[in-house]
Amino acid sequence: MRIGMIAALVACVFGTAGAQQRNPATQPAAVRSPEFSTDHRVTFRLYAPKATEAFLRGDFLADRVAMHKDEHGLWTVTVGPFQPDIYAYEFQLDGVRVLDPNNPAMKYSSRPREASSLLEVADDKPMFYDARRVPHGTVHERWYSSKSLDTERRIHVYTPPDYEHSSTRYPVLYLLHGAGGDDAVWTVLGHANLMLDNLIADGKLQPLVVVMTYGYAYPPNDPAYDGAQQRTGFVRDLLEDVIPFVQANYRVNTDRDKRAIAGLSMGGEQAINIGLHHPELFSRVAGFSSGFVGNFKDNYKDVLGNSQKLNADIKLLWMTCGTEDRLFAPNQEFSELLKAGGIKHTFRSTQGNHTWQVWRRALHEVAPMMFPKA
């Protein structure tokens, strides 16, 4: 009861003051958006009486969909039903990108014009990325001093259930984010920790440590961002700072046979690039919707000329990409290049676009291939 009152008071202080509050008669009491109907369709609403056009865009839609305005100024559109998953959307209101003000669930990005609202379509039973009543691992947020980049940086580290009470040295996966992401995004949007808890509880995955790095040498808004150091800077930070820090502070197995690297988009290209050029460090390599652009082939000449050694060293080389993704063609091209060079690998084409729906499933599929439960 009291909390309800606090909510009312705080909403009064910090809610939508100004123009709307001054004309309460014209304002709907509470705009519900998104709202699910019993037939599992979803209605999106936005109160914007002065706007002349509004569209809904979302990664659950092939194209943007026009919204319709009623006589009170409330824009509405109903779409779906959709498969259970977590989707991203936003409104275009007279050409302006607007997050759904009535939906607190948001997808963040470190780059402009990429934040979205989130639509979570639940299933009758928990999804593979939902919190179940199983033993849970811990996610550690750790700051470290990067000597190679001369700055304080952060990583997130997943340790499996029982890590604190065991003396095991665990296999370790270095897991990289995409452009616009950061070291938190694989847990915040990817639910990596919950997914791994579930795989371990279901006996499909060895307990492991997962290190989620910050993939930019310099943040996107840093003047140094576009320089050549961006690429080499991250590699140095990973090899000279992150891996030694992890091995000094976590009980990870330091054998290359127990060290893997994977990533999505920008991080997929980083993972494959670093993994294939450092087989002395990594034995399992995966890229999801990897950001192969430009003259990417040049970068792999040495690797392609050495297929026998690479096939012996790399126990798993796994790639996936959604067929609707604009990066599908370069991923397919890279797979053809590997094939022509005699490099053993799997290229798994999947339904979908450049979205978290693909990446959550990719991690769920590849982690048990890297470190299957014995």
> Of 69, 132, 236, 256, which lies in the binding site for a second copy, with binding defined by CB under 8 A?
132
Closest CA to 261 of 248, 277, 244, 245: 277
The rounded distance, in Å, linking the Cα atoms of 201 and 206 is 10
- When the beta carbons of 136 and 256 are compared against a second copy, the nearer one is 136
- By CB under 8 A, the residues from 292 to 311 that bind a second copy are 293-294, 296
Task: Provide φ and ψ at 137, rounded to 5°.
Answer: -80, -175
Q: ∠ at Cα 139 (133, 142), nearest 5°?
A: 170
Q: Are the beta carbons of 304 and 337 closer than 8 angstroms?
A: yes
Strand runs labelled E in 50-104: 54-58, 65-66, 68-69, 74-79, 85-93, 96-98
In terms of DSSP bridges, do strands 346-350 and 316-322 run parallel, antiparallel, or are they unpaired? parallel
Angle among Cα 345, 350, 356 to the nearest 5 degrees reads 105
Site for a second copy in 28-47 (CB under 8 A): 46-47
Pattern 196-235, a second copy, x by CB under 8 A: -x------------------x---xx---xx-x-xx----
Q: How many residues bind a second copy (CB under 8 A)?
A: 93
Q: How far is the CB of 75 from a second copy (least distance, A)?
A: 10
Instruction: Output DSSP code: residue 242.
Output: I
Binders of a second copy in range 310-339 (CB under 8 A) = 325-327
Q: Give the binding range for a second copy (CB under 8 A) out of 5-13, 79-87, 305-313, 315-323.
A: 5-13
- Per CB under 8 A, the list member of 191, 258, 259, 354 interacting with a second copy is 354
* Residue 1 makes contact with a second copy by CB under 8 A: yes
**Contacts to a second copy from residues 136-155, by CB under 8 A:** 136, 138-145, 152, 154
Binding mask 250-279 for a second copy (x = CB under 8 A): ---------------xx--x----------
Please, which residue, 52 or 308, has the CB nearer to a second copy?
52
Of positions 61, 98, 201, 239, contacts a second copy by CB under 8 A: 98
Q: Give the list of residues 6+ apart from residue 62 with CB closer than 8 angstroms, or none.
A: none
